[in-house]
Structure 1
């Protein structure tokens, strides 16, 4: 039954708060502050209202105001421009109307100021809206002869709420810009790799196919007058074709995996855009092409897991050598705990073991996770791919 309730709740939430805002359940939880409106009634029940507020406690106007407020509140999240301004001013007006009979009517003014912080335009324009609404509130406080501290408390809370919302929006804007930069880095890296592969294939196949054509033409001429020589030429064609196939496979390997350097740049953008500090340390290591590809894919998967699951504040990557092995270490200070083996972890382990390497994951609750990948630098099968590049990783530290 619970499985059917959750989608229903999410659908209703989507109707009230646009999913594109990325606010989740926060606007619903913020309605809890409406409880302040009913404090005078509660105080009246225990005999404190007359002493504190001079008997100004009226429940029915407060209940009616809540019924009016809720449609305005949810409309404020869906509207833009002048319509959003109208919702904000209507909520503020609701607070002014309720205040004579409820000293906690300033609660509505705080909601209105929260919306003012999310308006479009410059910061000074939004500050002007807040100042105007607080100015009207101060005049009403003086006319009703309420204690001035009511205005001062309201002022402090409104300023805190305004700048809190402003900071949240600025953080989201910067995060969106970082995500765009992250996507652009990936796009440019993929474009550069495609161009490199295109150039390599053009040079490789152009030369090889020309040689195959010449050898085949020569074999055709020799087939009647010198069959053994023709057979040797055909054997050469076969050998050239097989060599070309191996070189093509080596060239297109880069389509499926990026190098360590590009994955490192992507990791920094991904984690820092999510508020996770990131640093790294590289020892000078000469990596065979196959080894670098596997380590790059391991790094990509490990960083993705940190971003999605770890809830970490910081992460660190280190690439070094131990004897004849390359060692990649990825650490975070996240929640840690039991690691459920999934496709990502299994894929990392299988790729490393295919090169004679091994994977170790240490994770303790509340102490973060450390992933250690060991790969032999002298992988035997790398010798069979003469065209596989060896990539020099420069020393660096962030």
Structure 2
């Protein structure tokens, strides 16, 4: 399983949000975005249709509108304390322009839309109440009929409600993005740990065998050239297999069969002078890939530990099935004292426990050597289906 790198954002097709990320153009012009509400500024000019402004009034109105648009674009990308001063400035614009044209009342509507983006705390309720009293009073004084004030109150409520819904969607989208990012980070860490475990499990035994065979070949060079050549060719074969194992570990496509791993383990033990007995390998052919791979890793780790640390003369690899549970036992007659908390064994234990299994490390029945026992359930892994 790979991670696909995140494609870099296209800075030419959107605007940057406050956190530095980019809003896609399609998202930017969506009706769900607050920018579309700027179209309501057209209401400002309705009053001029009935009472044309002077040049000074027109200039003041257009300059204030340009400044407001910049303020609106800034604040509608935020959901923090800066919304309060922005709403205050917008309300002051409304108070300044309503005496000239009733269209200036639209700024009170925009102030309500700004405040609607915040969480509804006591402070926000107070700000909304102050805005409502100020806006309705201003319109009531200058409008020819109270209906204008009622219309303004209705538009303000709609604007605040729409902004509240839009802000909630933005928060949910941010939370979903954070969840995806966290899952990606956790997945990357899990993948890193998996690769580390697999490289240890797959290559530990191989490298130990290569080292041992290289030492044997070195001793035989001056005594038996044919045997030395055989050992060198064996190193070539083992190295090629190690390279294949490493590639498979990195891309996560191991799918190792337990029977094959047991046979290879017995052969590698024999190559290092350990007489090994194999039992039940044929029965392992019915295992699912997941269970088979997990137990194959156990074989590799156990054989590696025997070669490296056990100083054993005999070993046994036994596979059995009891009902819906499979059991793999690997025993040696070496020096014992295996560390169950070691990096390789702890990684195997975590792998088996994730599948509902267990790993046990104990001394041999006669007090010599070590017995490593791995158990796994098979019901949910497809064992019975393949019978």
Tell me the CA shift for residue 211 of structure 1.
Answer: 1.0
Correspondence for 1:246? 244
**Superposed counterparts of 1:52-71, under 5 Å:** 57-60=51-54, 61=57, 63-71=59-67
Tell me the CA shift for residue 251 of structure 1.
Answer: 0.9
Correspondence for 2:229? 231
TM-score (norm 2): 0.52
Distance 2:84 2:188 in 1: 45
Identify which range, 22-31 or 171-180, moves more after superposition. Answer: 22-31
Q: Does the 8 A contact of 1:193 with 1:254 survive in 2?
A: no
Correspondence for 1:276? none
Tell me the CA shift for residue 132 of structure 1.
Answer: 1.0
Correspondence for 1:333? none
Q: Does the 8 A contact of 1:117 with 1:166 survive in 2?
A: yes
Correspondence for 1:37? 44
Correspondence for 2:182? 184
Tell me the CA shift for residue 249 of structure 1.
Answer: 1.5
Correspondence for 1:75? 71
Correspondence for 1:357? none
Correspondence for 2:147? 149
1:105 pairs with 2:104: yes
* Match among 128, 131, 148 for residue 130 of structure 1: 128
Partner SS state of residue 59, structure 1: coil
Tell me the CA shift for residue 220 of structure 1.
Answer: 2.1
Identify which range, 157-166 or 231-240, moves more after superposition. Answer: 231-240
User: Could you say which structure has the higher helix fraction?
Assistant: 1
Distance 1:18 1:154 in 2: 34
Over 3 Å counting, the alpha-carbon distance change for 1:142 and 1:204 in structure 2 is: closer
Correspondence for 1:308? none
TM-score (norm 1): 0.51
Which protein has the larger Cα radius of gyration, Structure 1 or Structure 2? 2
Partner SS state of residue 225, structure 1: coil
Correspondence for 1:215? 213
1:88 pairs with 2:87: yes
Over 3 Å counting, the alpha-carbon distance change for 1:250 and 1:19 in structure 2 is: closer
Distance 1:214 1:170 in 2: 65
Tell me the CA shift for residue 78 of structure 1.
Answer: 3.5
How large is the RMSD of aligned CA atoms in angstroms? Answer: 3.9
In the comparison of the two structures, how many residue pairs are matched?
241
Correspondence for 1:195? 193
Tell me the CA shift for residue 204 of structure 1.
Answer: 2.4
Distance 1:40 1:72 in 2: 19
Correspondence for 2:336? none
Over 3 Å counting, the alpha-carbon distance change for 1:130 and 1:62 in structure 2 is: farther
Tell me the CA shift for residue 85 of structure 1.
Answer: 3.4
Distance 2:41 2:116 in 1: 20
Correspondence for 1:168? 166
Distance 2:59 2:34 in 1: 20
- Give structure 2 stretches of 5+ with no counterpart: 1-11, 254-287, 291-379, 383-387
